[in-house]
């Protein structure tokens, strides 16, 4: 997710193909180095959908379809308004 | 000999500068105006009025692919998401002890579902850290998805990052009460529809 643009595909590949996995790892590191958070949409124990924050590529489940990067959260200080 | 010649040269230079100064000044002014006009034209040409709409459409599709169908229906019909707390705990009997309302580009509002009591506002943003002096915002549905992912993944961390305020600082409590009433009605009608569908089947 990129402010002002929305969703952008950064990299695509198969983790079982070493070259493609390397590309995915590099894209992952690049985003985390840029201060992004990485989340993997998952399904919880009760069958409810939820997300899992991951801090390294090793934490990404091998069968994950995608990793979503979004800007790191910060305390908002917007002016009061309704 | 050198001193008078030098003085004369300086005087000539000053006189020449005085002669050409008005013309130079006009030239600089014209150049400044032309540059400003070129910048304005570039800004007008590069503005794409459909970009934000397309970004929002992509964001809605992404949100829909991540949350439950029920949550997606809630967001698309009511304009906000409700997440029960504590996040990750299995749903027990009765209402959750507390819940969050997630609005796009508004603070997350915590409340008690059983009583409707408003607890806190958690102000949270997702700024573009590569542009510390001001950046565009995430599309509405991306902002909701980012909050939803952060809160379902690590509730404590997100709440720890947020600025906490009493209810009513940014979101009108009357609006929240109206939204809670809409949510209750929406859930009732949905349950009735589901029951009716189950009976028909």
Q: pLDDT at position A69, please?
A: 96
B22 with B105, same domain? no
Tell me which of B188 and B47 has the higher pLDDT. Answer: B188
List the pLDDT tens digit at each of the 82 positions of chain A: 877 777 889 999 999 999 999 999 999 999 999 999 999 999 876 778 999 999 999 999 999 999 999 999 988 755 554 4
Tell me which DSSP letter residue B187 carries: H
Domain that includes residue B191, residue range: 52-200
pLDDT over 80 at B198, yes or no:
no
B99 closest CA partner among B183, B165, B17? B183
What are the angstrom distances between the C-alpha of A13 and each of A8, A20, A26, A27, B104?
Answer: 15, 5, 12, 11, 32
**What sections of chain B are H helices per DSSP?**
2-46, 51-66, 69-78, 140-153, 155-161, 173-200
Dihedral angle sign, alpha carbons of residues B130, B136, B137, B139: negative
Tokens in use for B26? 């006009």
Q: pLDDT at position A77, please?
A: 57
Contacts with B134 from chain A: Cβ below 8 Å: none
B94 with B123, same domain? yes
The CA-based dihedral angle spanning residues B66, B72, B74, B75, taken in that order and rounded to the nearest 10 degrees:
80
Contacts with A1 from chain B: Cβ below 8 Å: 59, 62, 126, 138, 142, 145-146
Least confident of A42-46, A78-82, B5-9, B177-181: A78-82
B119 with B153, same domain? yes
Angle at B187 between CA B181 and CA B191, to 5 degrees: 150
CB-defined contacts A:B, below 8 A? 130
B98 with B115, same domain? yes
Q: Per the structure, how many domains does chain B have?
A: 2
Measure B45 CA to nearest chain A CA, in Å: 17
Domain boundary among B10, B28, B47: B47
Tell me which DSSP letter residue B86 carries: S
B126 with B36, same domain? no
Q: Could you tell me the pTM of the whole model?
A: 0.77
Task: Give the residue-averaged pLDDT of B6-12.
Answer: 86
* Model ipTM value: 0.86
Q: pLDDT at position B50, please?
A: 83
Q: pLDDT at position A82, please?
A: 44
B123 with B196, same domain? yes
Q: pLDDT at position A81, please?
A: 45
Residues 21-40 of A with CB under 8 A from B: 34-35, 37, 39
Q: pLDDT at position B93, please?
A: 62
B72 with B7, same domain? no
Domain boundary among B15, B30, B47: B47
Q: pLDDT at position B89, please?
A: 67
B12 with B85, same domain? no
Q: pLDDT at position B11, please?
A: 86
B30 with B68, same domain? no
B59 with B42, same domain? no
Task: Give the residue-averaged pLDDT of B108-133.
Answer: 88
Contacts with A51 from chain B: Cβ below 8 Å: 66, 148-150, 152-153
B26 with B114, same domain? no
Residues 6+ apart with CB under 8 A from B18: none
A9 contact B CB<8A:
no
Test B67 with A44 for CB contact under 8 angstroms: no
B16 with B73, same domain? no
């Amino acid at each position: 997710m990129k402010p002002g643009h929305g969703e952008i595909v950064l990299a695509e590949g198969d983790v079982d193909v070493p070259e493609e996995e390397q590309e995915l790892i590099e894209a992952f590191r690049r985003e985390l180095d840029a201060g992004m958070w990485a989340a993997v949409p998952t399904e919880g124990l009760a069958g409810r959908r939820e997300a899992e924050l991951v801090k390294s590529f090793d934490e990404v489940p091998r069968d994950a379809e995608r990793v979503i990067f979004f800007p790191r959260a910060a305390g908002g200080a917007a002016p009061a308004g309704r | 000999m050198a001193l008078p010649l030098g003085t004369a040269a300086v005087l000539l230079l000053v006189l020449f500068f005085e002669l050409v100064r008005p013309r130079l000044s006009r030239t600089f002014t014209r150049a400044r105006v032309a540059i400003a006009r070129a910048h304005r034209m570039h800004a007008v040409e590069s503005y794409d009025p459909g970009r934000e709409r397309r970004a929002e459409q992509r964001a809605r599709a992404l949100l829909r692919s991540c949350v439950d169908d029920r949550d997606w229906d809630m967001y698309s019909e009511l304009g906000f998401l409700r997440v029960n707390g504590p996040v990750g705990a299995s749903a027990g009997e009765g209402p959750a002890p507390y819940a969050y309302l997630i609005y796009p580009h508004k603070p997350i509002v915590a409340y008690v579902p059983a009583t409707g009591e408003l607890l806190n506002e958690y102000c949270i943003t997702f700024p573009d850290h590569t542009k510390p002096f001001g950046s565009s915002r995430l599309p509405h549905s991306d902002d909701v998805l980012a909050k939803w992912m952060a809160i379902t993944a690590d509730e404590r961390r997100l709440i720890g990052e947020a600025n906490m305020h009493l209810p009513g600082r940014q979101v009108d409590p009357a609006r929240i009460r109206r939204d809670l009433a809409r949510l209750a009605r929406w859930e009732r009608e949905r349950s009735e529809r589901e029951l009716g569908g189950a009976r028909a089947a």
